[in-house]
Amino acid sequence: MRITRLAATFGAMAMVLAAAACGGDDSDNASGGASTASGIVGKAAGGKLTFGVKADQPGLGLQTGSTYSGFDIEISKIIAKGLGVPESGITWKTTVSANREPYIQQGQVDVVVATYTINDERKQKVNFGGPYFIAGQDLLVPVASTITGPESLAGKKVCSVSGSTPAKRIQTDYKDAQLQQFDSYSKCVTALAGGQVDAVSTDDIILAGYASQDQYAGKFKVVGKPFSTEPYGIGVKKDDTAGCNKINDILKAAAADGSYKKAWDDTLGKSGKAAPELDVSKLTNCS
């Protein structure tokens, strides 16, 4: 499927025919409806799955030595269990925002649970189960800050991770703000602590994770005015409709039997925030 897209790219460049572009899309779909044996349900039967998760986000996906912890990790475990994979059969692999789609497309990982926002652009490349959580872009500021929301960012320095959706949103929607980009949020938070930037912007849940770290206790606050909706999905291969449906079934069951709430309480819930309701009516249709 990728090779056809590539071929289409070059083909179209050579032919200079507008029609070639449409042809490219068609062949995509034609080769896309492949068998489900290569999907995660088939792979899970072998007792092993590779999960792509974040490694540097406290509360969500944080690597401590060779073990990972956080809400995304607990969700991954629920999915694995639902697919009949024992915890010992899980391989964790660190992903960063920029390589999640390629990782799924190339098969480096089977499932991605990594603060992964469902959007139309990504839907063209991967299939999403979930959402298992609804986040929103927000701002992390020093406790004494006068910033009250994205409107008051004019002239301020805002930090986010390079190439991420929050960074792009600041760039396009809040042009008056100056954007500092780093490759990790821990660097942004360090710059915030040092006063080099006035705010860090990304999903509220990620910010809350940093704000509640011991060494920053009492120094930062999350503004609490989300200015976007980020439904977190679980990414699988584009053609793996069966796997996606299965994930949604597992999430439904997890919402019903309390394991979803437990996953929250064990991780992000420790900050005192009550577990959110998993709205099963909002789950994707996996098409």
Partner 1 sequence: MSTDAVLYDHPGPRARARNRILTVAFGVLLLALLFWIYRKFEEKGQWAATLWEPFTKSSTWTDYIWPGFKNTLAAAAVAMVLSLVFGVLFAVGRLSDHWWLRVPSGVVVEFFRAVPLLLLMFFIFFGIPFVTEKPMPNFWAVVIALTLYNGSVLAEAFRAGVRAVPIGQSEAAYAIGMRKGQVMGQILIPQAARAMLPVIVSQLVVLVKDTALGYIISYNELLQLGVNNLAANFGNVIQAAIVAAIIYIAINATLTAVAGWLARRTRRSGRAPRATTTGPAVLTGAGGEPGAGA
Partner 2 sequence: MDVFSDPTNRDVYVTGFLWILKLTAASSVFALVIGTALAAMRVSPVPVLRAFGTAWVNIFRNTPLTLIIFFCYFGLYSTLGFTASDNLELNNYWLGVIGLSVYTAAFVCEAIRSGINTVPAGQAEAARAIGMTFRQTLTMIVLPQAGRAVIAPLGSIFIALSKNATIVGTIGLAESSNAMKDLINSNGNAVFQIFFVFAGTFAVVLIPTGYGFGWLANRLAVKR
Q: Which residues bind partner 2 (CB under 8 A)?
A: 5-6, 8-10, 12-13, 20-21, 98, 101-102, 125, 157, 162-163, 178-183, 187, 190-191, 194, 196
The minimum distance between CB 130 and partner 1, in angstroms, equals: 23
Q: How many residues in the chain?
A: 287
Helix (H) or strand (E) holding 161, with range, is strand 157-161
Chain-centroid distance of CA 27 in Å reads: 28
Stretch that binds partner 1, among 59-67, 136-144, 196-204, 267-275 (CB under 8 A): 59-67
Residues 26-55 that bind partner 1 (CB under 8 A): 55
Nearer to partner 1, 139 or 188 (CB): 188
SS3 42: helix
Work out which of 58, 131, 166, 226 binds partner 1, going by CB under 8 A: 58
Nearer to partner 1, 55 or 286 (CB): 55
**Distance between CA atoms of residues 108 and 197, nearest Å:** 35
- Which pair of tokens denotes residue 227? 């200015």
284 in Cβ contact with 118 (< 8 Å): yes
The minimum distance between CB 178 and partner 2, in angstroms, equals: 4
21 in Cβ contact with 226 (< 8 Å): no
CA angle centred on 147, ends 145 and 153, rounded to 5° = 135
**Distance between CA atoms of residues 115 and 231, nearest Å:** 9
Nearer to partner 2, 177 or 222 (CB): 177
8 binds, among partner 2, partner 1, none (CB under 5 to 8 A by kind): partner 2
Positions in the binding site for partner 1 (CB under 8 A)? 2-3, 5-6, 55-58, 62-66, 94-96, 99, 102-103, 105-108, 183-187, 189-190, 193-194, 213-216
